[in-house]
Amino acid sequence: MMHVLNDQQQVPVYALEPDEIAGNKYFRLYNFDGTLPNQADLLVPHRKDHYLIVFTRQADSRQWIDMTRYILKNNAIYFTGPNHIIVKEGFKKLWSTGIAFTKEFLSFQENAALSNLPLIQNPRDGHELILKEADINFVEDMLSKINNEYRSPSEWQQRMLTAYLTVLLTYLSRLYTEQYSDNGLSLEKLLLKNFQAKINEYFREMREVGDYAALLNISAGHLSEVVKTQSGKPAIKHIHERIGLEARRLLFHTNNSLKEIAFDLGFADASYFNRFFKRETGVTPAGYRAEIRKMYH
């Protein structure tokens, strides 16, 4: 049975907390060797303000990422970003290594290009990578190097962690494109992904294509043309779909009133939100909430 927040609660956002080993507020390593993770957020829908990549060696656990339930597999990679709602449904003893890092970490030094990797952009909205034996060996080797560097503070630590993470994320991005059938990013596809990334960041405040074109330093006409060619949908449709996705997340994971959800999403009133949601999905917000709860309870 899915746990949902009470009427007056918002979906909490968990920040990356530095540990006692490295004290780095932008990068953290988690190791579980047959131990139990923190149970405080069990069954609590939440977001993280950072990226999290976890290699599960052995897990008897379940979790939700947005509206998808995952039974964690052995020797697999799971990954989430700042926009996803996570619910840990059940955790027993866990053997895994997790790497958490913030957007700021990606912007340091030569890291900026990492933001455009498929695993980070996640255009297919995937969260699981199945590893073959060669992949497992490679990932274990890189995690061993990252672990060693993480525990050895020095003036070179930041650069070394950057280098190792770059290799790991690049390797996993190649697996991502293989498993999720992404054929690489041309300049036009990259513009589409950057547009979608900006929507993720600003969809509550910005509703016009021209606003995003200004952020990307191009004309609204050029942005609209490229987005329509690459995706088959008008640019404004991408903005509306992102708002609709967030609305579905909140309707599914919380018991907030329609008025509260409308306000959270930047709508002036609940009736406008109701009309918008029905136009986008074909059902009212209340009807969607009733149907989705019926499916999963």
Q: What is the CATH number of the domain that holds 213?
A: 1.10.10.60
Identify any residues that bridge with 254 across adjacent strands, giving them in sequence order.
5
d(CA 225, CA 233): 10
The distance from CA 178 to its chain's CA centroid, rounded to whole angstroms, is 19
Q: From its phi and psi, is residue 128 left (phi > 0), alpha (psi between -120 and 50) or beta?
A: beta
Residues 35, 164 share a domain: yes
Does 62 score more than 60 pLDDT? Answer: yes
Q: 45: which DSSP letter?
A: -
Domain boundary among 125, 147, 179: 179
pTM over the 0.75 mark: no
Domain boundary among 146, 179, 212: 179
Mean pLDDT, rounded, for 183-207: 83
Mean pLDDT, rounded, for 184-200: 82
Residues 239, 153 share a domain: no
Domain boundary among 120, 151, 179: 179
Does 295 score more than 70 pLDDT? Answer: no
**Confidence band, pLDDT 50/70/90 cuts, at residue 247:** very high
Per DSSP, the residues of 194-261 read HHHHHHHHHTTT--SHHHHHHHTTS-HHHHHHHHHHHHSS-HHHHHHHHHHHHHHHHHHHB---HHHH
